[in-house]
Amino acid sequence: MKNTLLFLSKLSKNNNREWFEKNKPTYLAAKDEFEDFVAAVLRETIKFQPDYAHLEARKLIFRIYRDVRFSKDKKPYKTNMGAGFSPGGKLIQEPGYYLHIEPGNKSFIAGGLYMPEPPLLTKVRQEIDYNGDKLKKIFARAEFKKAVAGWDDFDKLKKAPKGYDAEHPLAEWLKLKSFVVTCKLTDKQVTAPGFAKEAAKTFKLIKPLNDFLKLAIA
């Protein structure tokens, strides 16, 4: 993944179409390296997620081109490469995993359910209410606690959702609008031999959480 990080580092300093077109061959080489890496992660993941066997690595990768139509930031390119893994592809309203590669020790692996639609959000909150102890056990596992700090609470309600007591023991979890955890990665980890297997191991670590969420929205 060294070529990928190197290209993205240069892109972050030259985020314009002229530079990008001039360096298109370098981009394509980095893209190929990333696709090969995603394919390797997918092969490892299928061992414990056989429902992923039909997926194709190239279809899991997000475009590098930014949608700037409604953004004040008009830089045309992302300075990261990302891929989403779930039975439906790129995390389509179902629990899955996300791999984010970005230089400067900004890479990470995430898992869970991102911004579910209201009907699914209601189901997850209900499952937390009914079976919160099961979820607490997942978060209490030593390996899990070592890898992630807890829920990503980037978007949550200020008060407990309607129908739930403000004193509910899991009120902070019920306030969430996304149910995602993140494992941060260094550039050294990303470029280390065997990183594809390590990434899949992190996916496997997050799998019990995804299984809980999958059951909740079934």
Q: With DSSP H G I counted as helix, E B as strand and the rest as coil, what are the percentages for the chain, rounded to 5?
A: 50, 15, 35
| Residue with token string 């993944």 | 1
Give the pLDDT of the chain (218 residues) as one tens digit per residue.
999 999 999 999 999 999 999 999 999 999 999 999 999 999 999 999 999 999 999 999 999 999 888 888 899 999 999 999 999 888 678 999 999 999 999 999 999 999 999 999 999 999 999 999 999 999 999 999 999 989 998 889 999 999 999 999 999 999 999 999 999 999 999 999 999 999 999 999 999 999 999 999 99
Burial class (CB in 10 A: 0-12, 13-18, 19+), 209: buried
pLDDT recorded at residue 76: 96
What's the distance, CA 41 to chain centroid? 14
Tokens representing 84?
A: 């989403």
3-state secondary structure of 4: helix
> 112's torsion region: left (phi>0), alpha (psi -120 to 50) or beta?
left
Phi-psi region of 89 (alpha: psi -120 to 50; beta: other; left: phi over 0): left
**What are the extents of the domains in the chain?**
2-217
Strand bridging mode 179-185 / 107-113? antiparallel
* Residues comprising the chain, all counted: 218
Distance CA 132, CA 137 (A): 9
pTM for this prediction: 0.94
Buried b (16+ CB within 10 A) or exposed e, 72-98: eeeeebbbbbbbbbbeeebbeebbbbb
The single residue listed with the structure tokens 């092969």 is: 43
